[in-house]
Homo-oligomer: A and B are copies of this chain.
Amino acid sequence: MPEPTTNADQLKAEIVARVGTPAVVVDLDVVDRNIARTQKLCDAAGIKNRPHMKTHKSGPMARKQVKAGAIGVACQKLGEAEAMLDAGIEDILICYNILGAARSGKLADVLRRAPLKIAADNPVSLAAYSEAGAAAGRVVDVLVECDTGRKRAGVVTPAEAIELARLIRDDPHLNFKGLMLYPTGEDWPAVQRYLDETLAGIAELGLEAEIISTGGTPNLAALGVLKGVTEHRAGTSIYNDRMMMTNGAATQEDCALSVYTTVVSRAAPERGILDAGSKTLTSDTGGGLDGHGFIVEHPDARIAGFSEEHGMLDLSKCVDKPEIGEVVRVIPNHVCVVVNMVDRIVGVRDGRIEQIFKVDARGQLV
């Protein structure tokens, strides 16, 4: 490599010498700024901050978030919840019908260790949670997952939500804790009507929604629009990515995570190969973005395709084409899936490697 002449070059040289490429790198100064910004947005809206740890999957990162004011974390998997308990995080919401985990006995095992709040959108999940609660000798706090337009999981009507609340109320091993939703933001008045109608029905059951939880980094900009919300789950905002740059939730400077990768082949004038392919950057298109990541040094170069370890560069529109051996920084389309590819991340600060930290809950399927 040429002699480093800038801080960015110096950092690249240090990364190449210490870990090689490709390397997944997080700028810890940017992380600190992002954590503070998310907390400030929640504080300003009077809404509790429950960051989703799926993005970082790291105990120390979760502790940073709690230290900055977060009440706890959101998880998708029991294995993630275990990693958070290991890190000393106590207030945990699992935003998922963890049926396939509950049946393995693992839910009961974790409940023996600590209480959990878990989402459900159907009676089969409730029955599995109840059984696990009974086995563990602990009442399970349940949030009813509501769908207000995303068409993923979540009951579609207030009537269904109320019926699930009734089932929870009538089960001695379950406790109704509230509602969980992931608003699409397309029609806030409709979401508010769904919420109000559900809360009215739940009140008639003699229940109260102690928690009303919304989610999504893009929705941070709309905190406070929905009345009644008590807490918010944003995941991506700690690291950000090209998807967030594209939807306006972040700028390039807010992107804490990059993949440092070397141009290892330039077999023809208009193309090249990066040593980061689908086993590093993943094939996630970030909701249909063009190309597989943003190359900071060559914004006009396109990552046109992948093999497992090859990133196919289309340089036809690239004026200053990278040579073989150049190390470039790629902001991935979707950061959450890239973090999940690696056991360790290189943490940098002030242009130097500060620490190499573990992705504690990487690859937790169950």
Contacts and interface: CB of A to CB of B under 8 A. Distances in A.
Contacts of A279: 337, 340, 363, 365
Contacts of A151: 267-268, 271
Interface stretch (A20-28, A63-71, A183-191): A20-28
A343 B359 CA distance: 13
A88 interface: no
Contacts of A114: none
Interface in A108-128: 121-122, 124-125
Contacts of A267: 121-122, 147, 151-156
Contact of A278 (B19, B280, B282): B282
A21 B76 contact: no
A73 to B, nearest CB: 15
A86 to B, nearest CB: 17
A76 B20 contact: no
Contacts of A343: 363
A46 interface: no
Contact of A284 (B23, B101, B156, B283): B283
Contacts of A308: 54, 76, 336-337, 340
Interface in A307-331: 307-310, 312, 324-325, 327
A360 interface: no
Given A96-B309, A285-B283, A21 B265 contact: no
Nearest to A79: B20
A273 B307 CA distance: 28
B100 A262 contact: yes
Interface of A: 1, 16-24, 54, 76-77, 96-101, 103-106, 121-122, 124-125, 147, 151-156, 261-262, 264-268, 271, 273, 275, 278-280, 282-285, 307-310, 312, 324-325, 327, 336-337, 340-343, 362-363, 365-366
Given A96-B275, A97-B273, 6 more contacts: A16-B104, A20-B365, A147-B267, A279-B337, A308-B337, A342-B365
The 10 tightest CB contacts between A and B, nearest first, are: A21-B100, A20-B104, A100-B262, A20-B366, A97-B264, A153-B265, A283-B283, A124-B324, A76-B309, A283-B284
